[in-house]
Structure 1
Amino acid sequence: MPTILLTQGFRFFFFSMEGNEPPHIHVEHGDKVAKYWLNPVELASSEGFRSHEMKRLRMLVIENRELFLERWNEYFSN
């Protein structure tokens, strides 16, 4: 499961067998997890995060969306 970004205690990653789904990114912080679709940025699922954390996460996904898409396309185009 490739890690794309580590920032502010959050780890952004995707699983290596997910190429059949639309581009998305997973994020974890401790035992909390979430999944965001990237086109457009939209919450797919979340477990354990509080609403104020979700706002910050969404902003981080938006800020890094191009990086996430680039890495997704590089990884799954092989």
Structure 2
Amino acid sequence: MPTVLYLRGWRLHFYSNEGNEPIHIHAQKGDSDCKYWLDVDAYEIREAYAYNMSARDTREVRKIILQHFDEIVEAWEKAFGEQA
């Protein structure tokens, strides 16, 4: 499970066996867990799922992902190769 970022208690990571999926990131903090798809061309993110997430948690994770979008994409490409 490569960890990309650890901010504000959120661990943003990939699972090592997900290289056949489009670019995405998982975020986990305590019992809260979510996954976001990254659209590199449109520079947008889309929620794939969210468990035990408050509205505040969702806003915080979205903000972190958008602020570190390029870093996440670079980490994905390093881990799995370019697939965007």
The match for 1:58 among 50, 55, 62 is 62
Q: Which residue of 1 aligns with 2:15?
A: 15
Q: Give how far 1:53 is off.
A: 1.3
Q: CA RMSD in A?
A: 0.7
1:13-38 CA distances to partner (integer Å, 9 max, x unpaired)? 00000011100000000111000111
Letter in 1 for 2:61: L
Q: Structure 1 counterpart of 2:26, which letter?
A: H
* Structure 1 residues 37-52: aligned runs within 5 Å: 37-39=37-39, 40-52=44-56
Query: Secondary structure of 2:33's partner?
Result: strand
When normalised by structure 2's length, the TM-score is 0.88
Count of residues in correspondence between the two structures: 77
* Structure of higher RCO (CA pairs closer than 8 Å, 6+ residues apart): 2
Cα distance in 1 between the residues matched to 2:58 and 2:71: 20
Identify the residue that residue 30 of structure 2 maps to in structure 1.
30
1:62 & 1:36 partners in 2: Cα distance?
Answer: 11
Partners of 1:65 and 1:44 in 2: how far apart? 16
